[in-house]
Amino acid sequence: MPAYKAPLRDMKFLLNEVFDYPKHYASLNHGENATPDIVDAILNECAKFCEEVLSPLNQSGDEEGCKLENGEVITPKGFKEAYQQYTMGGWQSLSAPEEYGGQGLPASMGLFKQEMMGTANWSFSMYPGLSLGAMNTIYLHGNEQQKQDYMPPLTEGRWGGTMCLTEPQCGTDLGQVKTRAEPDGKGSYKITGTKIFISSGEHDLTENIVHIVLARLPDAPKGTRGISLFIVPKFLPDGNGGVGERNHVSCGSLEKKMGIKASATCVMNFDEATGYLIGPEHKGLECMFTFMNSARIGTAIQGVGPAELSYQGALAYARERRSMRALSGKKEPDQVADALIHHADVRRMLLTQKAIAEGGRAMLYYAARLADHMVEGHMDDDQKKADAYDDKLGFLTPILKGFLTELGNEAAYLGMQVFGGHGYIREHGMEQIARDTRIATLYEGTTGIQALDLLGRKVLMMTQGGAVREFSLRVANYARKHLTDRRIRPFAIELLKLTAQWNILTVKVMLAARKDRDVVSSAANDFLMFSGYVTMAYMWLRQAVTAADKLDNGGADSMEFYRTKIETAEFYYERMLPRAQTHASSMLSSPKNLMQTDPENLSFID
C-alpha cells in the first residue's frame, strides 16, 4: 500500500494563491479565527495525523475487516485507538458551532481535513464523516432540546451518527419507503422497519450511535411527500449528556463487500424503536437533503483522494521499476533498462492521474467557498443568502459527485496499470485503492442519478437552463480577462468556445425533451460528463493563470512547481478535454437507439 503523503504544497497553492482563502475567511462574519497561521497549523497537524496514524491502518484494516459478534460490530485492530486520537485532537469539532462545543471554524476547514483523512484511510474516515452529516441535519432542523441532547456529544465525537434511507425494496426511489412511525402518546414515536447499506450503523468506536431515519406516519400521503424524518438513538439520552437505556435498534448483519471493508456497512433493524420527529411532518426528504448534499460533496472527495493516493504509488513505482529502453534512446545507460517513467505511455497514465487529482481538488476547494457562505447564511438566519449559495452549490454538487468519482475510478485503474501484474497483487495496495473507490459512483446516488438531478432537475425543471447560463457566464468572463497572455491564450480561447457550446447543447436538449421525455434520461450522463470536463478546464485555467503570474513575480524556489502546473494544464487541455466532444455528440443522439429494441429481445440465450 502506498504510504500517504499529504500534498500540502498543492493544497496551499489552491488555498493561498488560486482562491485567496485568507481574504475569503476575513470576509466571513464567523471567519475571524481562521487566520493564515491557524489554518497552516491545522493543515500541518492534520497531515501528520493522517500520515502517521491513519495511513498505516489502511491496508491492515482492509485485510482484517469488521466482525459482527453477538450483535456488536468490532472494528479492525488499531481503529479504536486511532479514533481516540482523532477525538482528543479536536478534529470532529473543527467546524461545529461554538454554542455546542465546536471550534466554530468555517465549513471548508472540515472539507480540507476530510480530504486528507479520506485519502489516507477512506474506511476510517467514514465513521466520523457520517456523524458530521447527522450533526448538520440536527443543527438545521432539530428543535432546541434536540440540539442540546445530541449536538454536544456528537461534536465531541463521543457519539456517532448515521443516515438510514435505503430499504431492501428501494434505494434511490425513496417513495417506496415502508418503515413505519407510530405515535406512542408520549411525544415520541415507535419506529419499525429494516434499513440496508447503513454505513457506520453499528461499531465500537463511540458510546452511542444516533440514526437519522426516514419513515412514514400512519396518515402519510403516498410517495416522497409522505416521508418524515426521525432521530433514533442506539441508547436513549439520559438528559445529562450521557446514555440511558438501550433502544430497540440492532444490527442484523454486515454486508460482504468488494471494498472499504474496514467500514461497517450494516443491515439495521428497528423493532418499535423510540424515535423523535425532526423537522415538520411529511417533510423528511427535504430535511434529509441537508444530509445527502453534505454526503455527496464528501463522496466527491473519494474521486480526488484515490486519484492522489494511486498517483503517489504509481509515480514512485514508475521511478524505480525498469523495463526496456525508451524509444527516443537510452535514458539510464548505466542501468540494465530505463525506468518506466521515461516511456511516453506511462507518462500519459501518470499525467492523467495528476490532472484528475489536482483538477478535482481545485473543483472541491472552489465549491467549499460557496459552502462557507451558505453555512454562514444559516448561522445568521439570513435565509436569502443561504438559499442563494445553496442554489450555486446545488448546481455543482452532482457534477462534483458524479464526474469526480467516475474519474477517480479511472485514476485508480491507471495506477494498477502502471504497476502491471504487480498492480493486481494485494501486497502493493493498488488493487485495494481500485476496490475501495468503486463504491463512490454508486452510493449517495449513482452517476446516473446525479446526471438526472443535474439535467432534469437543476437545469431543465428548476431553472430552464438558467443554472448553466449563470455559471458559464462566470467562467467565460474569467477566460476573457486572460486572452492577452500568450501562455494562457490557448486555454482561454478553448474555454470560451466550450462555455458557448455548453449553452447551445442545453437549449438543444431542452427543445428535444419537449418532444420526447426519454431525451432527458438518454442525454443526462453525457451532459454531466461534458459539464465536468468544462468545469475542470475552468479550474486548470485558474491554476495556470496563477502559476504564470508567479513565474513572473514569484520566488525562485517554486519555479519548477509553477512550470509543472502550466505543463499539466496543457496536458489536460490537449489530451483530456477533447473527450468532452464525444459526450457532446452522444447527448444529442436520439433515444431511439436506446429504446427501440424490445426488452424481451435483448437476449436470445436459450
Which residues form the catalytic set?
A: 444
The span from the CA of 232 to the CA of 278, in Å, is 10
Q: How far is CA 38 from CA 15, 156, 253, 338, 562, in A?
A: 13, 20, 43, 45, 25
The span from the CA of 65 to the CA of 95, in Å, is 30
Candidates 285, 157, 292, 152; CA nearest to 230 is 285
Lookup: cell for 266: 450494516
Residue 602 carries which side chain, given as an amino acid letter? L
Candidates 317, 298, 319; CA nearest to 429 is 317
What would the DSSP string read from start to end of 120-179?
H-HHHHHHHHHHHHHHHHHHHHS-HHHHHHHHHHHHHTSEEEEEE--BTTBSS-GGG---
Task: Mark residue 329 as left, alpha or beta (left: phi above 0; alpha: psi -120 to 50; beta: remaining).
Answer: left
CB 530 within 8 A of CB 583: yes
DSSP secondary-structure letter at 254?
A: E
- The three-class DSSP label of residue 372 is helix
Helical (H) or strand (E) element with 212: strand 208-215
Give the bridge partners for 464, in sequence order. Answer: none
The span from the CA of 391 to the CA of 393, in Å, is 5
Q: How far is CA 168 from CA 177, 258, 285, in A?
A: 9, 19, 18
Lookup: cell for 332: 539510464
The span from the CA of 400 to the CA of 404, in Å, is 6
The span from the CA of 213 to the CA of 165, in Å, is 6
Lookup: cell for 64: 482484517
